[in-house]
Chains A and B, each alone.
Chain A
Amino acid sequence: MKRSITRLLMAPSVLLLLAWMIVPLSMTIYFSTINYNLLYPGRNNFVGWLNFEFFVTDPGFWIAVSNTLILLISVLVITVVLGVALSALIDKPFHGRNIVRVLLISPFFIMPTVNALIWKNMMMNPVYGIFAWISNSLGLEPIDWLSDYPLMSVIIMVSWQWLPFAILVFVTALQSQDTEQKEAAQMDGATGWHIFRYLTIPHLARPIAVVVMIETIFLLAVFAEIYVSTGGGPGYDSTNLAYLIYNQALLQFDVGVASAGGLFAVVLANIVAFFLIRAVGKNLTV
């Protein structure tokens, strides 16, 4: 009796959440199996696996998959390595430490669109960007970042955006490190590098796992930076899966193929998550 009342009372929220998930998912699955092009309304016949075939055989498909993975891995490596290094650097008290910390964290508050615009127009522009000015001052040929190294440019922008998050997590974690342990290691003959290697890194294992997992969720779906800066180009050079799906749906108006791509992205995310959790997840149990 009591249990059924509990169920009854919980039902509305459970049903709402279920609908929240089920409706878009089933619509996506449904769209992915029909011919659904916005340019040819009314011809929504069932096509089976054809949309998937179109998506997978798209000339940009394998490039987009590899770009997605390259972007993910590069940004993870850059943010974790630089994040740990910078956090360790600002862990010791020095004059103006609070200001430095605020400056290091602040890129996180800038929205991705603005971030991409700043990098595109003020830093990487080959004519009036700061990098071009530096090259010119040194007598070098300015680099046209967005056309010559499009994926690298996106990686730089996204890393700049996500480094503060890593620093925020690592700085907090470092503050909870026991100073007596470091002193004990010091007396045991450990150098600064030994302490970092044998005490600090193991201490950071769990925060690193958390940073990797949270960043993965967002990095698989990077879109604004690409849309604003390179537009996925030149060619498919900086197109990732999210951008390819957008391309199918809203540039080629093919909702069916886009839905198939969306489902593929879900599968890819699960594969990546499986390997990542296997790789870093065991740290979580320590």
Chain B
Amino acid sequence: MAYLNITELQKHYDNYHALRGINLAIEEGEFIVFVGPSGCGKSTLLRTIAGLESSTGGTIQLDGRDITELASSKRDLAMVFQSYALYPHMTVAENLSFALRLAKVDNDIIEEKVKSVSASLQLDKLLERKPKELSGGQRQRVAIGRAIVRQPKVFLFDEPLSNLDAALRVQMRLELARLHKKLGTTMIYVTHDQVEAMTLADRVVILNAGQIEQVGTPLELYRSPNSRFVAEFIGTPKMNLIPLDNVIREGDVLHLKLLEASIDFPVSRIHGPLPNQVTMGIRPEHMHLVESGGDLTGKVELIEHLGSEAYTHIRLANDQTVIVKAPARTNIKDGELVHINVDRAEVILFNESDRVFSVVAED
């Protein structure tokens, strides 16, 4: 029995099925990130856990207690909103203490808690200010502080960093990670930004069209996605997906045929029967430009220099474009013919219905 259990959760709007049977078990102290494209249901799922939306089926259990029908204030959760949702007519101190004052907590205790929270978030000099006198980052910290003061069982974050500028976002991301380490409280975090998902999460939940596509640690999702959706969603630039010309089985080995290339792939790394049409997935950093030989030949169309590395867009003989990572100071020029070597251990195979039927090679 996990800490937070979501079973067969459904959410119907008038004519829209937003959550289609969500099953998820979250352990105490985990940092879980819901990620997916817009409209995938990640915010709806969070709001349903929070009790701001009612579910139309399924159950949510927190710490052994069924909270599905409970009012959001009785769920022992705290939420940080995208717009921060600070109370504009109250000072920072009043914002922080609002929940405690409503709960009629002793004044001395309130003061003590506000003091310790504001000190840990460097808000102690701003306690008498109103929200509109604060910068974006400070407002963000007040919103987080307001959640911490209540010592909830679970923190919910609804795209909390998306209103901040890029530099501040990186800084707040670090502060959040540090905060999670310090408090050790379970956190659920919604974002559409895969970098936030990868850097913050203990486990990432990828949602697509109201369903969970895959759950796993960031590295698991990166190395062994179980569908084309996850493979394409995680990683920048995207994984290369190349339809193969043919796959021939010879004893214990599959020969993956693509143009002039024939890549050997052990049969032990696939499960299920061999589909008719196979697509090969390979990340840009698992293909290498070589002087001669190599598996494939193509013409360089475009080089993107990122400083620490470069990404070359290469058009193959069948007009398919692949992206290959190259060293930062590559001397390859546009229009040049190059040879590409494929790292066999990192090849992933997809069937016609875009599911993965291979397993990653053991290290």
Contact = CB atoms under 8 A, between A and B. Distances in A.
Interface residues of A, number: 18
The 10 A-B residue pairs whose C-beta atoms are closest, nearest first, are A202-B89, A188-B99, A180-B85, A189-B73, A184-B85, A180-B81, A181-B85, A189-B102, A180-B83, A187-B72
Interface in A166-205: 178, 180-181, 183-190, 194, 198-199, 202-203, 205
Nearest to B50: A187
Interface string A55-69: 000000000000000
Nearest to A188: B99
Given A186-B52, A187-B73, A286 B89 contact: yes
Contacts of A183: 52, 72, 79, 81, 85
A202 B90 CA distance: 9
Contacts of A286: 89
Contacts of B86: 181, 184
B71 to A, nearest CB: 8
Given A188-B73, A189-B99, A180 B89 contact: no
Contact of B102 (A194, A202, A203, A205): A194
Q: Dominant SS at the B interface?
A: loop
Given A184-B87, A189-B103, A190-B73, 4 more contacts: A180-B85, A183-B79, A186-B73, A187-B51
B111 to A, nearest CB: 18
Contacts, number: 60
A184 B144 CA distance: 12
Contacts of B150: 188
Nearest to B158: A180
16 contacts: A178-B85, A180-B82, A181-B85, A183-B79, A184-B85, A184-B87, A184-B146, A186-B52, A186-B72, A187-B51, A187-B77, A187-B79, A188-B146, A188-B150, A190-B98, A286-B89
A183 B72 CA distance: 9
Contacts of A194: 102
A194 B50 CA distance: 19
Give the most central of A183, A194, A205: most B CB within 10 Å.
A183
Nearest to B78: A187
Given A188-B73, A189-B103, A198 B87 contact: yes
B148 to A, nearest CB: 13
A25 B50 CA distance: 65
Given A188-B73, A188-B102, A199 B87 contact: yes
A185 B87 contact: yes
Interface in B95-146: 98-99, 102-103, 146
A69 to B, nearest CB: 31
B285 to A, nearest CB: 40
A203 B89 contact: yes
